[in-house]
Structure 1
């Protein structure tokens, strides 16, 4: 049986570790899936200490170290912080990555999120999953063959589970990550450059503890210790069976 791959495409280094690393860790540990974590940017604005080139180098290194903890691979698509925009070149980068990784499952940001880079990443990934199986999309310019079919597409809960107006966004289902919460914490802790930045810009001191508090709050919603919440894209042409739920156990509220 061929090994499956999962690709998480988020905006910045450490986004996957906050939002979906538990699912990534469980798929690798329990089912032997290949894990790929991609970021649209190298986090070049995420510092008050280092200039853009230096912090970007450091954050790429941290992203790779975090992915390696679950035998995963890190990719950076080299857009820039606060400049992630739905453009043809950015879309082509995501499509090329999809054709390289050939994932069965893709995870990205919520359509509604506190950060515009997150929302733009959502739009790019949503379009790319639809485009990647179409031979004519990059006709004559594909370095790899198109995908055989549209992959399963899932949206992480936005950070804090709220939209920009503070209204709750309910997950469609949850996944129990209690068995890998320490691994998720170690992956987030690999982003050591972010502690000072998150304290100064976000008012968050111990970001690993905050992640665990939020995961516990989500877990309480589903009656488990720690959980991550997701919504599945169920639009026309996309797979409708909940593959993540089938593999990892689909938690429902109540």
Structure 2
């Protein structure tokens, strides 16, 4: 890891349960190494239901997200945007910058820049903006924490590992989560409200099984039972060494 960055990881996602689907296994591995872990969602998932009003489902889903984070000793945050209406605008960026400022992450996960859902794409843009900007003294009223800087930034797999045109994403980085798969499933199971929603709206009867299938798909590509895949952001000012590959080298 490059000097001057904190051993703090932030999964900055659109909705409750996105982190568990996309990078839960890697978050578990980071916690096992002693990293501080935060999970944030921009929205509380207020449209993730066919039967409840937005207030009841938001309350339920944020409680589920908190419980999932607590399973691994992580902290959950919600920025209280509206489900389906996440946008890249000044107020949303400011919320994200303030959160990043308070946490000072050295490693950030977010959605793919090209994803099936616009909430995910907008969240990825907000995460990218906040990761770059939050260290500027004038960007937030929150004080700068020690070792604040531009963090490692990784984009998670979109669902099925496909871009909006049906093309398979080519990862830069894989993390073997074979030993963490059951704990990842346990985290995902905390989001019980989503089984009926996904079955009704997405035609997906078992969200935990779908997670297992995707983990097996990525695992097969590197010869392990289960894996998570990422694309690293390596633009100007961002770290270009692959910290995940260094922390979790693959056995060949």
The answer to whether residue 153 in structure 2 is matched with residue 145 in structure 1 is no
Residues 116/3 of structure 1: CA separation in 2 closer, same or farther (3 Å cut): closer
Which secondary structure does the structure 2 equivalent of 1:43 belong to?
coil
* Equivalent residue runs for 1:33-48 within 5 Å: 33-48=35-50
Unaligned runs of 5+ in 2: none
Structure 1 equivalent of residue 29 of structure 2: 26
For 1:107 and 1:173, the matched residues in 2 are separated by: 12
Do the aligned partners of 1:173 and 1:250 also contact (CA within 8 Å) in 2?
A: no
For 2:84 and 2:163, the matched residues in 1 are separated by: 18
CA RMSD of aligned residues (A): 1.5
The answer to whether residue 184 in structure 2 is matched with residue 184 in structure 1 is yes
Unaligned runs of 5+ in 1: none
Moved over 4 A (4+): none
Do the aligned partners of 2:152 and 2:238 also contact (CA within 8 Å) in 1?
A: yes
Structure 2 equivalent of residue 17 of structure 1: 20
Task: Please report how far the alpha carbon of residue 93 of structure 1 lies from its aligned counterpart in structure 2 after TM superposition.
Answer: 0.7
Task: Please report how far the alpha carbon of residue 148 of structure 1 lies from its aligned counterpart in structure 2 after TM superposition.
Answer: 2.8
Structure 2 equivalent of residue 55 of structure 1: 57
Task: Please report how far the alpha carbon of residue 136 of structure 1 lies from its aligned counterpart in structure 2 after TM superposition.
Answer: 2.5
For 1:166 and 1:225, the matched residues in 2 are separated by: 24
Residues 35/66 of structure 1: CA separation in 2 closer, same or farther (3 Å cut): same
Structure 2 equivalent of residue 233 of structure 1: 233
* Equivalent residue runs for 1:1-254 within 5 Å: 4-29=7-32, 31-138=33-140, 142-145=141-144, 148-249=148-249
For 2:23 and 2:249, the matched residues in 1 are separated by: 15
Do the aligned partners of 1:154 and 1:232 also contact (CA within 8 Å) in 2?
A: yes
For 1:111 and 1:47, the matched residues in 2 are separated by: 26
Task: Please report how far the alpha carbon of residue 251 of structure 1 lies from its aligned counterpart in structure 2 after TM superposition.
Answer: 7.7
Count matched residues.
247
Which secondary structure does the structure 1 equivalent of 2:109 belong to?
strand
For 1:123 and 1:251, the matched residues in 2 are separated by: 33
Cα displacement string for residues 87-116 of structure 1 (whole angstroms, at most 9, x for unaligned residues): 101001111111111111000000110000
Cα displacement string for residues 62-107 of structure 1 (whole angstroms, at most 9, x for unaligned residues): 0000001101110001001111000101001111111111111000
TM-score by length of 2: 0.95
Do the aligned partners of 1:173 and 1:251 also contact (CA within 8 Å) in 2?
A: no
TM-score by length of 1: 0.94
For 1:3 and 1:86, the matched residues in 2 are separated by: 27
Cα displacement string for residues 158-202 of structure 1 (whole angstroms, at most 9, x for unaligned residues): 111111111111111210000100000000000000000000011
